């Protein structure tokens, strides 16, 4: 008797379900993607106990006739691929034909659908016992999945707790709402509304619904294109960060993806703007010819390969960097008047039990959103004005441009705690961290020097540095690099080197300390990254060369810091991402003292 046999179809579906359906979120994902592919403009997801007990996804899409409804539960049955060539030009979210049979094999599924001509109702339990009946003609599809993993208790055992399962679903639905702002999404768990979007195509409105008013006010629109890619979306101000990458939403042709190389490119654009281990909020859609991407590399279809990744990374870097350079990034220090926002939140909490009353809450939220849109229009007008001024030739500009710098001229008044310079101008009051500001000034000065031919200063007394054996071997491989940047280094016997000269940007009184720091950076084990090395020596030496917190500085030194920080390419943060300056605008101060009551 033959030992090799063809699997039973139900068994094959259960095995496939292990790849496609691992948790409740996977079920929601597959069903919602099917609804989008069916050209739905309204999609509703209703959960009971975070989807473990029941998941219902309904849409107003094109629906199916009876034959297609029955075919949908067969493995590899799909309307999206006809031949091999279609695999290289995929425009739909789903295409493998595995989702419905896989879900049906580990749950009890009811499908109700109509194409407007005939209504069909199908029940299928554990992938078998398919029953077909007639139903009403309401166009669209509703799929109800009950008792997920009831017949595979091992998988049921490894489901996370209800809160984790719900959090995964909410995170996914947030990303889908950001992907398709033109679709009206509603997510409800145990009769509580967790997400509701208007479907009016306004991406900023969706960001507001998900992240709230404070973050929405601090989002920057972005747009760019080259021969292969078009990108659009929103990036957050550097002051708005999260402790993980979950708030970086990247979309390719409307598909939510996870690509570590793209995420790294985006995060690198914020280098020196934000602190290490903090991440911006990003909503970025990438439009590309489907032939340039391969999405058929993972069952979840969330990983993706790009044919021209280098050109995409260049476009992202250029677009994000340019946008950050255009915006004034001084954080507001004043306590915001959150009364209106908090009032809306309390109303939402109070009325979660009664979904019918949510329209009243939405009217209040809409009023706040209109204020945010007005702020955006003012901000964009300011950016456009600055662009026009930058376009004026130096002969035409005279002294006009000084009034439109990213930071207007500030006048020092005093220093608080021997650390924070208090300054003012017509716009308001400023607090400047004297060390962070001086560090930024010195950092940019050193970075500029590193790009030029070094001016070398010979030492009267060479600096002798003793190293461990492994460090000594490592540093000898970098003698040429050190010499290129103005350091004359010689071997001086057993595990010892001497420095006979250094570049002029290293101050004499701290030369030995700074050179030892640079040697330590070169001796750092791991793969050598040239760009990272240049940044680290500039940041490290700038820190050691700058006035420290707690140091007394004179009026002249205060003026020097305030004047030079305005000339920096990025005057808003130190090289390590800490803010150099925060502000109380004049309007905010007057509100605090009740001189402005609106």
Strand (E) or helix (H) holding 476:
helix 469-476
Give the domain-ending residue among 377, 404, 431.
404
- What does DSSP assign to residue 274? B
Residue 459 belongs to domain with CATH number? 3.30.1540.20
For residue 331, report the phi and psi dihedrals to the nearest 5 degrees: -65, 145
Q: Indicate whether 207 belongs to any domain.
A: no
State the Rg of the chain over Cα. 30
Q: Indicate whether 296 belongs to any domain.
A: yes
Give the separation between CA 212 and CA 179, rounded to whole angstroms: 18
* Shared-domain flag, residues 27 and 175: yes
The pLDDT value given to residue 355: 45
pLDDT digits (tens, 9 = 90+) for 208-217: 989 888 888 8
The pLDDT value given to residue 127: 67
The pLDDT value given to residue 318: 93
- What does DSSP assign to residue 149? T
Number of other residues whose CB lies within 10 A of the CB of residue 568: 18
* Shared-domain flag, residues 450 and 545: yes
Kind of pairing between the strands at 108-114 and 54-59: unpaired
Total number of domains constituting the chain: 4
Q: Indicate whether 204 belongs to any domain.
A: no
Q: Indicate whether 2 belongs to any domain.
A: no
Q: Indicate whether 576 belongs to any domain.
A: yes
* Shared-domain flag, residues 566 and 433: yes
CA distances, 541 to each of 442, 452, 459, 518 (Å)? 8, 17, 18, 8
Give the separation between CA 280 and CA 283, rounded to whole angstroms: 10
* Shared-domain flag, residues 379 and 446: no
Q: Which residues contact 240 (CB under 8 A, 6 or more apart)?
A: 215, 218, 219, 280, 281
Give the domain-ending residue among 276, 302, 326.
326
Q: Indicate whether 98 belongs to any domain.
A: yes
Q: What does the H/E/C string look like for 509-558?
A: HHHHHHHHHHHHHHCCCCCCCHHHHHHHHHHHHHHHHCCCCCCCCCHHHH
CA distances, 505 to each of 50, 187, 401, 425, 496 (Å)? 60, 59, 30, 33, 25
Give the separation between CA 469 and CA 454, rounded to whole angstroms: 30
* Shared-domain flag, residues 434 and 535: yes
CA distances, 81 to each of 35, 42, 77, 78, 290 (Å)? 17, 25, 9, 7, 14
The pLDDT value given to residue 9: 53
The pLDDT value given to residue 387: 54
Residue 530 burial class via C-beta count within 10 angstroms: exposed 0-12, middle 13-18, buried 19 and up: exposed
Give the domain-ending residue among 167, 196, 225.
196
User: What's the mean pLDDT when you consider all of the chain?
Assistant: 81
Where do we find the tokens 């339990």?
A: 125
The pLDDT value given to residue 377: 66
Q: Indicate whether 203 belongs to any domain.
A: no
Tokens read off for 264: 């790294």
Q: Indicate whether 206 belongs to any domain.
A: no
Confirm if 184 and 195 have CB atoms less than 8 A apart. no
Confirm if 455 and 464 have CB atoms less than 8 A apart. no
Residue 224 belongs to domain with CATH number? 3.30.230.10
Residue 122 belongs to domain with CATH number? 3.30.565.10
* Shared-domain flag, residues 448 and 396: no
Q: What percent of the chain has pLDDT over 90?
A: 36
The pLDDT value given to residue 564: 94
Confirm if 449 and 534 have CB atoms less than 8 A apart. no
* Shared-domain flag, residues 361 and 296: no
* Shared-domain flag, residues 464 and 596: yes
Confirm if 496 and 464 have CB atoms less than 8 A apart. yes
Tokens read off for 362: 């939405």
Where do we find the tokens 């708005």?
A: 240
The pLDDT value given to residue 93: 64
The pLDDT value given to residue 307: 82
Query: Which segments of the chain have a pLDDT < 50?
Result: 11, 13-18, 81-89, 95, 334-357, 389, 394-404
For residue 141, report the phi and psi dihedrals to the nearest 5 degrees: -140, 140
3-class secondary-structure state, position 158: coil
* Shared-domain flag, residues 320 and 339: no
* Shared-domain flag, residues 500 and 426: yes
Tokens read off for 385: 């004005």
Query: Which range marks the domain in which residue 463 is found?
Result: 407-598
Put simply, whether the predicted model's pTM sits higher than 0.85 gets the answer no
* Shared-domain flag, residues 121 and 188: yes
* Shared-domain flag, residues 256 and 155: no
3-class secondary-structure state, position 229: strand
Kind of pairing between the strands at 42-48 and 54-59: antiparallel
């Amino acid at each position: 008797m033959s030992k090799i046999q063809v699997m039973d179809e139900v068994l094959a579906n259960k095995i496939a379900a292990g790849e496609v359906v691992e948790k409740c979120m996977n079920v929601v994902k597959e069903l919602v993607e099917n609804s989008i592919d069916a050209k739905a403009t309204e999609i509703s997801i209703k959960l009971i106990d975070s989807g473990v007990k029941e998941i219902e996804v309904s849409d107003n899409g094109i629906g199916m006739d009876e034959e297609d409804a029955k075919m949908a539960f067969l493995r590899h049955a799909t309307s999206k691929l006809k031949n091999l060539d279609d695999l290289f030009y995929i425009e739909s979210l789903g295409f493998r034909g595995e989702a419905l049979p896989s879900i049906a094999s580990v749950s009890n599924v009811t499908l109700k659908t109509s194409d407007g001509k005939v209504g069909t109702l199908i029940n299928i339990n554990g992938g078998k016992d398919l029953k077909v009946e007639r139903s009403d003609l309401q166009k669209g599809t509703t799929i109800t999945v009950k008792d997920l993993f009831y017949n595979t208790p091992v998988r049921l055992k490894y489901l996370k707790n209800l809160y984790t399962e719900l959090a995964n679903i909410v995170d996914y639905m947030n990303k889908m709402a950001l992907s398709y702002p033109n679709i009206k999404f509603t997510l409800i768990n145990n009769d509580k509304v967790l997400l509701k979007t208007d479907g009016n195509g306004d991406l900023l409105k969706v960001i507001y619904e998900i992240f709230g008013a404070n973050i929405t006010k601090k989002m920057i629109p972005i747009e760019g294109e080259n021969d292969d890619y078009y990108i659009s979306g929103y990036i957050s101000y550097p002051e708005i960060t999260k402790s993980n990458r979950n708030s970086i939403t990247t979309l390719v042709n409307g598909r939510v993806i996870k690509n570590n190389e793209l995420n790294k490119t985006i995060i690198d654009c914020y280098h020196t703007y934000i602190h290490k281990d903090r991440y911006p909020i990003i909503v970025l859609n990438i439009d590309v010819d489907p032939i340039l991407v391969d999405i058929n590399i993972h069952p979840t279809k969330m990983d993706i390969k790009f044919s021209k990744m280098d050109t995409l990374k260049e476009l992202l870097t250029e677009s994000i960097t340019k946008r950050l350079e255009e915006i004034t990034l001084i954080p507001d220090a004043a306590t915001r008047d959150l009364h209106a926002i908090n009032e809306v939140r309390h109303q939402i909490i109070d009325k979660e039990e009664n979904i019918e009353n949510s329209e009243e809450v939405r009217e209040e939220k809409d009023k706040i959103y209109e204020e945010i849109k007005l702020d955006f229009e003012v901000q964009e007008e300011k950016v456009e004005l600055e662009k026009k001024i930058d376009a004026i030739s130096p002969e035409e500009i005279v002294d006009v441009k000084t009034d439109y710098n990213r930071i207007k001229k500030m006048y020092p008044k005093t220093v608080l705690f021997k650390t924070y310079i208090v300054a003012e101008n017509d716009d308001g009051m400023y607090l400047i961290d004297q060390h962070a500001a001086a560090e930024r000034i010195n950092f940019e000065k050193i970075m500029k020097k590193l790009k030029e031919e070094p001016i070398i200063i010979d030492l009267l007394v060479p600096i002798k540095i003793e190293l461990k054996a492994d460090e000594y071997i490592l540093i000898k491989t970098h003698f040429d690099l050190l010499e290129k940047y103005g350091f004359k280094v010689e071997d001086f016997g057993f595990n010892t080197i001497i420095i006979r000269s250094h570049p002029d940007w290293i101050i004499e009184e701290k030369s030995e300390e700074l050179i030892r720091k640079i040697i330590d950076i070169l001796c750092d084990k791991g793969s050598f990254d040239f760009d990272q090395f240049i940044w680290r020596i500039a940041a490290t030496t700038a820190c050691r060369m700058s006035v420290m917190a707690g140091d007394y500085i004179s009026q002249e030194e205060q003026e020097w810091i305030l004047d030079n920080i305005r000339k920096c390419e990025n005057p808003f943060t130190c090289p390590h991402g800490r803010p150099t300056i925060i502000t109380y605008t004049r309007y905010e101060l007057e509100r605090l003292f009740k001189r402005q009551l609106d």
